[in-house]
């Protein structure tokens, strides 16, 4: 294959990648660098590894900013949990595969013969492309890209989290219906130090809802919140404490 044919092939890949990305690069060499895996690079520094390092930081920054503004009443721990899901290798690989970035990777022979690109590689190219957009177009361009791509993932994560995070659901309900935030009152504990159980009740305003036992305070609070949600809906509570 001639150099012109190679250049033409690379150009086709770059065009398709830009279309999938929704961003047109000013520096096409930078985009090519984003797509070059270490196995297909002439040397380590010509691969996308350094870009992956930068892209991970930019992704984390923008996702943290999204969560900070989206959830003004959530604690640091709750925000950290959601962030860890959104910036995880699993989510990055999923997004990368959905957008088809794995098809544009420049891989060495060892990887290009595989039927499926490893998850770590597909996740890395997504982060590399974020870094590429950041370097090519600045933070605003990277923020626009990340928000557009990650917003559906955020919504899905929230739905999954709320499906099992009864404290979060109760907090939303209490703030909407009563204009206040639930608190959790420790009523009792029993058992030896290495195997304690805790009895907790959710309290909204002056009203305490049916308590629940749990193997630790965190789980007891989740069960107490679940009890409160059921009680508010006139349903039988799932965790009877007595």
Q: Which of 5, 12, 52, 56 is catalytic?
A: 56
Nearest Cα neighbor of 33 from 119, 110, 117, 104 is: 104
Distance separating alpha carbons of residues 209 and 231, to the nearest angstrom: 7
Distance separating alpha carbons of residues 167 and 164, to the nearest angstrom: 9
In the prediction, which pLDDT does 115 show? 60
In the prediction, which pLDDT does 86 show? 92
Percent above pLDDT 70 for the chain:
89
Q: Which of 52, 127, 136, 221 is catalytic?
A: 127
In the prediction, which pLDDT does 5 show? 34
What SS3 class is residue 75?
coil
Backbone φ and ψ of 104, nearest 5°: -105, 0
In the prediction, which pLDDT does 33 show? 93
For 82, 101, 124, 168, 183, the CA distances from 66, given in Å and listed in that order, are 11, 24, 22, 18, 26
66: Cβ–Cβ under 8 A, 6 or more apart, which residues? 147, 150, 151, 154
What SS3 class is residue 154?
helix
In the prediction, which pLDDT does 219 show? 84
In the prediction, which pLDDT does 74 show? 78
In the prediction, which pLDDT does 111 show? 59
In the prediction, which pLDDT does 19 show? 94
Topology match between the domains 3-164 and 166-232: no
Specify the pTM: 0.64
Distance separating alpha carbons of residues 95 and 101, to the nearest angstrom: 9
In the prediction, which pLDDT does 77 show? 82
What SS3 class is residue 12?
helix
**What are the structural domain ranges in the chain?**
3-164, 166-232
Tell me whether residue 56 is one of the annotated catalytic residues: yes
CB 52 within 8 A of CB 128: yes
CB count, 10 Å around CB of 147? 14
> What class is the 166-232 domain?
alpha beta
Q: What is the mean pLDDT of each successive set of 10 residues along the chain, which is 242 residues long?
A: 42 91 94 85 77 97 95 83 90 93 80 67 95 98 96 82 76 91 94 84 96 88 91 88 76
Tell me whether residue 193 is one of the annotated catalytic residues: no
CB 222 within 8 A of CB 239: no
For the stretch 12-53, pLDDT in tens is 889 999 999 999 999 999 999 999 887 766 766 778 999 999
In the prediction, which pLDDT does 113 show? 47
Distance separating alpha carbons of residues 32 and 106, to the nearest angstrom: 8
CATH of region 3-164, choose from 3.30.360.10, 3.40.50.1100, 1.10.1520.10, 2.60.40.1260? 1.10.1520.10
In the prediction, which pLDDT does 211 show? 95
In the prediction, which pLDDT does 4 show? 35
């Amino acid at each position: 294959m001639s150099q012109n044919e190679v250049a033409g092939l690379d150009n086709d890949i770059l065009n398709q990648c830009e279309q999938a990305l929704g961003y047109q690069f000013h520096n096409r060499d930078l985009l090519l660098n984003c797509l070059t895996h270490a196995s297909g690079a002439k040397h380590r520094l010509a691969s996308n590894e350094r870009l992956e390092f930068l892209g991970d930081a930019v992704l984390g920054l923008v996702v943290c900013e999204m969560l900070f503004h989206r959830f003004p009443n959530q604690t640091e721990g709750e925000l950290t949990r959601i962030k860890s899901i959104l910036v995880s290798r699993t989510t990055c690989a999923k997004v990368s595969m959905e957008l088809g970035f794995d098809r544009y990777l420049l891989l060495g022979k060892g990887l290009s013969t595989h039927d499926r690109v490893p998850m770590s590689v597909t996740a890395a190219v997504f982060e590399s492309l974020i870094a590429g957009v950041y370097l090519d177009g600045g933070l605003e361009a990277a923020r626009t890209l990340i928000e557009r791509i990650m917003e559906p993932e955020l919504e899905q994560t929230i739905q999954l989290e709320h499906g099992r995070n009864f404290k979060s659901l109760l907090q939303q309900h209490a703030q909407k219906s009563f204009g206040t935030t639930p608190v959790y009152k420790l009523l009792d504990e029993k058992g030896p130090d290495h195997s304690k159980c805790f009895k907790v009740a959710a309290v909204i305003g002056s009203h305490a809802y049916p308590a629940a036992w749990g193997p630790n305070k965190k789980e007891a609070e989740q069960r107490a919140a679940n009890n409160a949600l059921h009680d508010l809906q006139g349903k039988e509570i799932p965790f009877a404490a007595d």
